[in-house]
């Protein structure tokens, strides 16, 4: 078993090492000047360049449903195909600029993204909750509430990895449990992360761009509480219905009660270390190095190195039996790493066109966003299918340009009750913050923990809905009405 785990670790790190170049086979043969880095390709590329991205999304949506066996064994190859379908012509026609754009998104966005997910996944996988946890509607609601509260403290990924296994273990004898995992994705993997920059990547980006740390807490608390109360109430009613039917059909046997026991709590120190180094990276700005014209900040290198070290220390000090008790394996993180490598490569033209604003081929979309309502739904819908962090940043820059603000002016503009406060900026920023965090729950790819939770649940034997099944059976009929209520109350 230990030898198998070591092989899996080597496979993961091998993939991580080559992932920045997954779609760039000829990259190392191309040299370019740093001056090319400032080219705005969004003004010159047509909208049809997003076809590989659409193909990537459709593959994730349809292949597990239509060809599950093929997808299970070859999803990495499918992701590489779509990445190459975009990257090869991109490299041929744009050369140096294409190399810069691909390297930039992989080195600055993808690799740190995967390192953070791997660190949280690894550390949280060493915390084991055992004892008599019976998946009654009350117990399940309490577990979801605890996970939602944790998400803003240790991030949606950290909270999801800590809580999903106890939830699955508590409901191991339940027949209908896909709805439990779907509501878990709604609340723990997304909406719960709305209160601090540590909770979700879009808010952390805002923090890096001068949004005060506790502004999010005070501004999004009412929105988050309303969404949480409504969803928990809906969950309790739905879970009570299914639980009642199962109990009537086959009375659930009483188990011998054993005390609830939490082991591996020292991993919380490693999680605290991850949180601390993320905070440090937001305030400490010692400079940067340049790699192929790409600025890589020293504090980000330190952050990534510390997260890797903390993850490896967790692996070393946590007894193997605790991870075995959690049914811990590397499959979920490998699946996320491979699929998101394809997503990050193919998303380049979509993000570039959006960043070009009124000068890009989606100018009609950009110019139609004018009110807080528009920013809430615009950033939310795009975050459901694009990566929510760059989508947030795109709308963030749109707001600054529209209102004539600089990053240095942001703290004063957000200081409610002062002469410098800008109510329009506050309303816009609240809209994109809530939209990008909340609506990441609309699809499996809206936020990285969604896919990880789905993968872990399927490994545990839960029959999860397909990509479209999740949308049409759960997110659209349940989440969209909640977001409409939030719109009328707050926007």
Q: 89-113: per-residue pLDDT in tens?
A: 999 888 888 888 888 888 887 888 7
Q: 321-360: per-residue pLDDT in tens?
A: 888 877 787 887 888 888 888 888 988 888 777 777 667 6
CA 144 to each of CA 474, 477, 486: distance values in angstroms, whole numbers, following the listed order: 17, 20, 21
Q: 151-181: per-residue pLDDT in tens?
A: 988 788 888 888 888 899 888 888 889 999 9
Q: 248-260: per-residue pLDDT in tens?
A: 555 555 555 666 7
Find all residues with CB under 8 Å of 396, minimum gap 6, and list them. 205, 206, 209, 429, 432
Name the residue among 31, 458, 2, 442 with its Cα closest to residue 227.
442
> Are 27 and 103 spatial neighbours (Cβ–Cβ below 8 Å)?
yes
**Residue-level length of the chain:** 491
| Cα gap 121→328, rounded to integer Å | 10
| Cα gap 443→450, rounded to integer Å | 8
What is the longest distance spanned by two Cα atoms in the chain?
Answer: 71
Label residue 33 by pLDDT band (50, 70, 90).
Answer: very low
pLDDT value of position 28: 32
Find the mean pLDDT for residues 435-452.
87
pLDDT value of position 42: 73
| Cα gap 453→390, rounded to integer Å | 22
Is residue 293 left, alpha or beta, with left meaning phi > 0 and alpha meaning psi from -120 to 50? Answer: left
DSSP reduced 3-state for 183: helix
Q: Where are the beta strands (DSSP E) in 111-268?
A: 128-130, 261-263
> Are 184 and 164 spatial neighbours (Cβ–Cβ below 8 Å)?
yes
Tell whether the model's pLDDT for residue 72 goes beyond 60.
Answer: yes
Higher per-residue pLDDT: 40 or 204: 204
3-state SS record for 285-320: CCCEEEECCEEEEHHHHHHHHHHHHHHHHHHHHCCH
| CB-facing half-sphere around the CA of 305: CA atoms within 13 A | 6
pLDDT value of position 433: 93
């Amino acid at each position: 078993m230990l030898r198998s785990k070591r092989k899996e670790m080597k496979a993961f790190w091998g993939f991580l090492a080559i992932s920045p170049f997954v779609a760039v086979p000829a990259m190392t043969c191309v040299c370019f000047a740093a001056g090319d880095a400032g080219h705005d390709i969004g003004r010159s590329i047509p909208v049809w360049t997003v076809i590989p991205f659409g193909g990537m999304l459709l593959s994730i949506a349809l292949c597990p449903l239509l060809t599950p066996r093929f997808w299970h064994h070859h999803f990495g190859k499918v992701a590489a195909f779509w990445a190459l379908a975009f990257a090869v012509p991109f490299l041929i026609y744009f050369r140096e600029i294409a190399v810069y754009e691909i390297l930039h998104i992989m080195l600055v966005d993808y690799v740190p993204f995967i390192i953070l997910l791997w660190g949280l996944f690894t550390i949280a996988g060493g915390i084991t909750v055992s004892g008599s946890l019976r998946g009654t509607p009350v117990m399940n609601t309490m577990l979801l509430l605890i996970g939602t509260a944790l998400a803003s403290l240790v991030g949606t990924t950290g909270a999801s990895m800590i809580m999903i296994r106890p939830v699955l273990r508590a409901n191991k004898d339940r027949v209908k449990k896909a709805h439990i995992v779907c509501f878990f994705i709604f609340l723990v993997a997304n909406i719960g992360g709305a209160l601090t920059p540590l909770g979700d990547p879009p808010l952390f980006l805002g923090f890096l761009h001068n949004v005060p740390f506790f502004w999010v807490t005070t501004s999004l608390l009412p929105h988050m509480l309303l969404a949480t109360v409504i969803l928990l109430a809906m969950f309790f009613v739905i879970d009570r219905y299914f639980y009642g039917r199962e109990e009537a059909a086959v009375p659930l046997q009483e188990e011998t009660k054993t005390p609830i026991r939490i082991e591996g709590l020292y991993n919380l120190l490693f999680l605290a270390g991850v949180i601390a180094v993320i905070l440090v990276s937001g305030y400490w700005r010692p400079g940067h190095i340049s790699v192929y014209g790409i600025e890589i900040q020293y504090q980000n290198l330190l952050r990534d190195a510390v997260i890797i070290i903390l993850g490896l220390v967790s692996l070393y000090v946590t007894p193997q039996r605790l991870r075995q008790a959690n049914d811990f394996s590397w499959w979920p993180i490998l699946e996320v790493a491979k699929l998101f490598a394809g997503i990050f490569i193919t998303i380049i033209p979509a993000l570039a066109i959006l960043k070009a604003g009124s000068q890009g081929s989606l100018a009609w979309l950009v110019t139609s966003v004018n009110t807080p309502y528009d920013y809430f739904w615009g950033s939310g819908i795009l975050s459901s299918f694009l990566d929510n962090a760059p989508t947030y940043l795109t709308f963030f820059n749109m707001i600054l340009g529209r209102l004539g603000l600089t990053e240095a002016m942001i703290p004063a503009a957000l200081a409610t009750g002062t002469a410098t406060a800008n109510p329009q900026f506050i309303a816009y920023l609240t809209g994109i913050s809530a939209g990008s965090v909340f609506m990441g729950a609309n699809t499996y790819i809206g936020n990285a923990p969604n896919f990880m939770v789905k993968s872990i649940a399927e490994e545990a034997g839960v029959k999860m809905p397909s990509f479209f099944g999740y949308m049409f059976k759960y997110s659209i009929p349940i989440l969209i009405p909640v977001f409409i209520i939030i719109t009328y109350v707050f926007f």
